[in-house]
Amino acid sequence: MIRWSFIELDEVRSTQEVARGLAAEGAPEGTTVVAKSQVSGTGRLGRRWLSPEGGLYLSFVLRPGQIAHPELATIVSTTAVAEGIEKSTGLAPTIRWPNDVILSGKKLAGVIAEAQASGGVVSSIVVGIGVDCNRRSADLQSLGGEATTVEDELGRPVAIPEVMHSILGSFSVLYARWAAGEDVREEWTRRVATLGKQVLVKLKTEENPFSCTATALEDDGSLSVSLAGRARVIRAEDLEWLREQS
Ligand code: BTN
């Protein structure tokens, strides 16, 4: 089990930046940076993550050693976020590959996992998690109505530390199983909304989006799709965006 230790901050540029710095200085696994707000929160592809007070913003350090497929950190973390939110609030979010936690068709939480490697060996992974908790959708208009919050969905605010500990508890269990060599994709598959769906995919490497059917999650966390009857594998790092069409 992970031994969690917490650095609690009020306002920070980005918990991810702080945790990355601590990881580089040798901080042990479980070192967790939590902030009440961030002025420069970032998501996948360097996108801005709005982080006023009322959200959960945290980043933690992993030292996975020789773990199989370190790329699965995003899949494991996203599963833990969905499960942790469910256990602490009773809401039942789903997952949109690769890193979105969804409720009522809108984004509720996001995950970013950044690996640091030297000599081909992963020395640390910093996982960042943002959950829109105690805010109202009125605050989220700037996101184009594509986001929701725990408070909106529940009709009442939640205790943010409870949500955090629930997520970290779920993560600990999944991580131990992953480290023991178990296949942890099953939990993800039970919660994912993307598989079996017609999806529209936009890759960074291609000009036009294309429509395909999401068919399976590969060992390394890539998504297999079927495109006009032909199989194709999409890597998360190549993805600009993905939308379900049916
Ligand atoms: C995404 O959906 O693109 C991932 C969003 C991750 C946001 C979290 S909030 C805590 C941590 N600090 C950051 O700057 N980013 C992550």
Write the pLDDT tens digit of every residue in 176-206. Answer: 999 999 988 888 999 998 999 999 999 999 9
- Nearest Cα residue to atom 2 of ligand 1: 110
- CA-based nearest residue to 227, from 205, 212, 208: 212
Question: Is pLDDT at 141 greater than 60 in this prediction?
Answer: no
Tell whether ligand 1 has an atom less than 6 A from the beta carbon of residue 14: yes
| C-alpha–C-alpha distance, residues 69 and 200, integer Å | 26
Delineate the domains of the chain, giving CATH numbers in brackets.
Answer: 5-189 (3.30.930.10), 198-244 (2.30.30.100)
Ligand 1 contacts CB of residue 43 (under 6 A): yes
Residue 245: predicted pLDDT: 87
Give the pLDDT confidence score for residue 244 in this predicted structure. Answer: 87
Spatial separation of the C-alpha atoms in residues 57 and 49, rounded to whole Å: 10
Q: How far is the CA of 128 from the centre of ligand 1 (A)?
A: 5
Q: Relative to the CA of 47, which ligand 1 atom is closest?
A: 3
Residue closest to 4 by CA, chosen among 62, 90, 70: 62
The pLDDT value given to residue 110: 96
Q: Give the Cα separation of 127 and 59 in Å (integer).
A: 5
What are the E-state strand segments in the chain?
5-12, 31-38, 56-62, 94-96, 100-103, 106-118, 121-131, 198-203, 210-217, 223-227, 230-234, 239-244
Decide whether any atom of ligand 1 lies within 6 Å of the 128 Cβ.
yes
Q: What is the pLDDT of residues 93-111, one digit of tens each?
A: 999 999 999 999 999 999 9
pTM score over 0.85: yes
List pLDDT tens digits, range 50-88.
Answer: 999 999 999 999 999 888 889 999 999 999 999 999 999
pLDDT confidence bin for 146, thresholds 50/70/90:
confident
